[in-house]
Structure 1
Amino acid sequence: MRDHDTWQVNGIDLAVTIAGSGPLVVLAHGFPDLAITWRHQVPALVEAGYRVVAPDMRGYGRSSRPSSPDGYDSDTVGADLIALLDHEQVERAHFVGHDWGAASVWPLGLTHPERVLSLTGLSVPYTVPAPVAPTQIFRNRFGDDFYMLKFQEKATPEAMLERDVTRTLVAVLSGRVDQLDSDDVIGAPAWLPDDVLDTYVREFERTGFGGGLNYYRNIDANWRLATRRDRHRIEAPSLFVTGTEDPISAFMPADRSARGFRRLRSHTVSGAGHWLHQEEPKRVTDLILDYLRSVDRRNDL
């Protein structure tokens, strides 16, 4: 059985889906998404004996949506996730994130290592901070039209994405972010049921995309926070899962991630794209569950 509630944590309201009992697993979604993205993983985790908390991350759905980009840096979002543990009155949890959710959970291994049982990131790898800011790297490699750079602008990206919310969501969920400002017809991916797409459309027509875009507007701020940390290697047991068809790998390659971890296990899901936990739910869920169980077995020794 799943419950839906709103918790006041870290000075904001987070709408949460809660289910099960046992060791805590926190599921963090990315852009543009909602807690419903984990609909395949939640029942499997509960059946395996875990308690699951899946928030609509700040800026999304029924959660608070601070208007200033300053409210979306990695330390602030990370504090939201840690506050979920405080609300549950548990010391440590497993954290699983996809896309910006992955980018939000990786730093917890550096900022709150004592609260982490394990870290799992889908699609977006953790990397030791580069010598220069990410926007400079993207501009040099891809030019000013790269979508992450266009998202840095104020108001213009919101207007573009909100002109046709359904088309925007279909384009992004189909891996066609390059088509956001075109009028080409794009069909919804086969793995996305109509009722789930309807939920996405209804929520983003209500909220807009500003909260999600503010995560992108902190790319350089997050890099500065990372460069100031005393350590850059994550000690917690960690899992990274990506798909062979994920376009993120073109500009965020995972092959240099290993030096950022003491214990990293990596898997590539053949045929899966960016939304691998929805595209190949059983394969991805099994990988997550096998890893969580292996960590828990080691902790029990």
Structure 2
Amino acid sequence: MESLHTGFKEVQVSRGYKYHYYFSAPETGKPTLLLAHGFPSLAIDWRCQIAYFKAKGYGLVVPDMLGYGGTDKPADHKEYLHSLLARDLVDILEHEKVTNVIAMGHDWGSKTTSVLANLFSGHFLGFAFFALGYIPPNPSKPFAELEEEITKAIGYNTLGYWGLFAAPDAVELVENHIESFWDLIHPKDPRIWKYNSCPPGASRVFLESDSRTPRDPAHQELQPVYEKEFSKGGWVGPLNYYKAALDGDMEDSKKIPLENYTIKKPVFIGCTKKDVICVPAFQKAVAAQFCPQVTIEEFDAGHWVLTDVPEEVNSALDKWISSIVA
């Protein structure tokens, strides 16, 4: 992207929050891409995709999600339920009067994109997911039951770190051990997550002991931006995504009719072979059940696939988009 601020706009969505988002209008005949980031990221995490698709004339709507960057940061975690976030993103699209939209998400952005597919499918041509694939509604399974189900399917618990990120002292822990936190979030070797993030309690031990591990060099370019934006905006908002998931997601899922669980539009899932949390086999199994028009690509990358292998991601996306846009 040209810079941190060039091309950004602001709008107040229907529930009153201000969103800060990158916008580039589509050329005639081109669709618009809505790009939703995850934790702990910013709109500019999509910078490689923005540069590529803007040059090809695609429209782009790329928000700092609620709690991040220049967007408002409510303290109440119930404000981060994904049905609410999905409505916010539709409000932005309607404000810009864009049509022929394809929604894409990474990490928690994939969950919001999933709910866009569940509640607002008619607004979109298709849906794309990276690392974390489509997440169907969960109206009845408590978190402990989900952990047990995933452990049985994969062989280990991939969600052990959620306990830390949703803990009452999570903000204090992250702020007081920030270098260890960024090491753990962006490790050079993504396999360390299996031992330092997945087991319950392991992330807390890593942070409290100020452990260090080499970072992924692909993220070094953004590190000064992260440090500036997160030191200014704080961690309450970003960590609220985990609190909302553990306290409210089941009720939120009840807003979605059963017939909307299956995505009837084209779906792209970019699986990440080196990701020990968003394991490809699990993403594929869910897609097989709920996404009848799915295209799956596997990338030789860890969780941060958008910046680790941007050329491969952009090429695969471009091919898929061309296949679904008349």
Fold similarity call, TM over 0.5: yes
Contact 1:117 1:236 in 2 (8 A): yes
Deviation at 1:7, TM superposition (A): 1.7
Once residues 127 and 9 of structure 1 are traced to their aligned partners in structure 2, the CA distance between those partners, rounded to angstroms, is 25
The answer to whether 1:150 aligns with 2:164 is yes
**Runs of 5+ in structure 2 lacking a partner?**
198-202
Deviation at 1:185, TM superposition (A): 2.0
**Which residue of structure 2 aligns with residue 288 of structure 1?**
317
Once residues 286 and 180 of structure 1 are traced to their aligned partners in structure 2, the CA distance between those partners, rounded to angstroms, is 37
Aligned CA distance change for structure 1 residues 251 and 66 (closer, same or farther; 3 Å): farther
The answer to whether 1:223 aligns with 2:223 is no
**Which residue of structure 2 aligns with residue 204 of structure 1?**
230
Contact 1:138 1:149 in 2 (8 A): no
- Quote the sequence identity (%): 24
Aligned CA distance change for structure 1 residues 12 and 128 (closer, same or farther; 3 Å): closer
Partner of residue 12 from structure 1, selected from 11, 17, 31: 17
For residue 209 of structure 2, give the secondary structure of its aligned residue in structure 1.
Answer: coil
Aligned CA distance change for structure 1 residues 163 and 125 (closer, same or farther; 3 Å): same
Contact 2:180 2:210 in 1 (8 A): no
Contact 2:128 2:268 in 1 (8 A): yes
**Which residue of structure 1 aligns with residue 115 of structure 2?**
107
For residue 277 of structure 2, give the secondary structure of its aligned residue in structure 1.
Answer: helix
Letter in 2 for 1:268: E
Aligned length: 294
Aligned CA distance change for structure 1 residues 139 and 157 (closer, same or farther; 3 Å): farther
The two structures have a TM-score, normalised by structure 2, of: 0.83
The two structures have a TM-score, normalised by structure 1, of: 0.90
Once residues 227 and 281 of structure 2 are traced to their aligned partners in structure 1, the CA distance between those partners, rounded to angstroms, is 28
The answer to whether 1:26 aligns with 2:40 is no
**Which residue of structure 2 aligns with residue 243 of structure 1?**
272
Contact 1:4 1:15 in 2 (8 A): yes
Contact 1:95 1:119 in 2 (8 A): yes
Per-residue CA deviation, residues 97-125 of structure 1 (Å, 9 max, x unaligned), is: 10000111012111011101110010112
For residue 289 of structure 1, give the secondary structure of its aligned residue in structure 2.
Answer: helix
Deviation at 1:182, TM superposition (A): 3.3
Deviation at 1:57, TM superposition (A): 0.3
**Which residue of structure 1 aligns with residue 200 of structure 2?**
none
For residue 224 of structure 1, give the secondary structure of its aligned residue in structure 2.
Answer: helix
Contact 2:130 2:271 in 1 (8 A): yes
